[in-house]
Amino acid sequence: MLLDLLFIIIGIALVLWGADKFTDGASALARRMKVPPIVIGLTVVAMGTSAPELFVSMASALKGSSGMALGNIVGSNIFNALAIVGCAALVAPIVITPGTVKKDIPFAIVASAALALLTLIDGRLDRIDALLLLAGFAVFMVYTLRLARSGNAQQETTGEAADATPANLWKCLGLIVLGLACLIVGSNIFVNYASDVARQLGVSDAVVGLTIVACGTSLPELATSVVSARKGESAIAIGNAIGSNVFNILLILGLTGTICPMTLGGITWIDMAMMLGSIGLLWLFSFTKLRVQRWEGGVLVAIFLAYMTWLVVTA
């Protein structure tokens, strides 16, 4: 048990250090390429920090534990919208661009609603459902790339990370790769040893999937968003959380479901409703003053902790 706890600490340390380097590289790359930070957050950062969810969900589904695979994604998305954005807002209020409120968050809401609808109808995610999710992902990528080329997107940048001196391209890429490697390795160490501790304590696989595995695979998003918020990179912080939610549902479950159709397992309509409600609440907070205030971040974190407590108590 003590050795497991030691590796858990090592995993967390790797994630935090990797997030710092990953954020520096991503923000520098955005400035060099003159791409809005929100686009970098929605694509490069979101895709990179979603890698652990992809590995865990794919492996779980192939091993016949579809409940763990779906629980990982549903739990990760709840963690993203509540814990990650909440913690980032507690560090520094998050400024939201009008485009994020009008398009990006609603897209994540639609993706969440689509997953809930497709799975709750017959209790499974078959290959046709998965292909529909992949089609949605293609639409999302086309939209995001158009946003990157749009003059309006340039006008929407807040200037929070403006820098007249372009960074070296290879240095940017090196920081991104190094940071991502530490994020993935650190999160995998955390998930493996934290899951072992949970099972030693008698916690069920369903609860492990929705809690420890989901939170563990979302550690890269958490660390990246919190560090981004601390450095004044609000666009990367919010783009990372929203983009990861979209990637998790449309790309990861789309790919996993195409290879290996899944059943809901221990995932209930309450969990799906929580996933949909969490991103909806985030949109509501963002819509009011185009920012997520510290007290709103506190509310998001409190709701997440209440949900985690409910899961453990009712397990």
pLDDT digits (tens, 9 = 90+) for 1-10: 778 778 878 8
Distances in Å between the Cα of 78 and the Cα atoms of 31, 121, 186, 261 are: 30, 21, 21, 22
Helices 269-289 and 294-314: crossing angle in degrees, nearest 10, is: 170
Q: Which residues pair with 124 in a beta bridge?
A: 263
* DSSP state for residue 55 in the 8-state scheme: H
**Residues 224, 218: Cα–Cα separation, whole Å:** 10
Say yes or no to pLDDT of 301 above 90: yes
> Residue 115: what pLDDT?
93
Residues counted in the chain = 315
What residues contact residue 219 under an 8 Å CB cut-off, 6+ apart?
11, 12, 15, 52, 183, 186, 187, 190
CB atoms within 10 A of CB 291: 15
Residue 94 three-state SS: strand
> Residue 189: what pLDDT?
79
Least confident of 86-100, 163-177, 199-213: 199-213
**Helix then strand then coil, % of the chain, to nearest 5:** 85, 5, 15
Say yes or no to pLDDT of 154 above 70: no
> Residue 155: what pLDDT?
45
Distances in Å between the Cα of 116 and the Cα atoms of 86, 143, 210 are: 23, 23, 16
Say yes or no to pLDDT of 261 above 90: no
**Residues 224, 194: Cα–Cα separation, whole Å:** 21
Say yes or no to pLDDT of 153 above 60: no
What residues contact residue 85 under an 8 Å CB cut-off, 6+ apart?
94, 225, 237, 238, 241, 282, 292, 297, 300
> Residue 152: what pLDDT?
46
First to last CA, the chain: 22
For each of the domains in the chain, give its residue range(s) and CATH number, in order of start: 38-160+187-314 (1.20.1420.30)
Residue that wins the pLDDT comparison between 306 and 201: 306
The pTM score is 0.76
Residue that wins the pLDDT comparison between 54 and 3: 3
Q: What's the CA angle centered on 249, arms 243 and 251, to 5 degrees?
A: 80
> Residue 120: what pLDDT?
87
Say yes or no to pLDDT of 164 above 60: no
Could you report the per-residue pLDDT of 172-209, keeping only the tens digit for each? 889 888 988 887 787 677 767 766 776 677 766 667 66
> Residue 148: what pLDDT?
66
98 φψ region: left (φ > 0), alpha (ψ -120 to 50), beta (else): alpha
Q: Which amino acid is at 32?
A: R
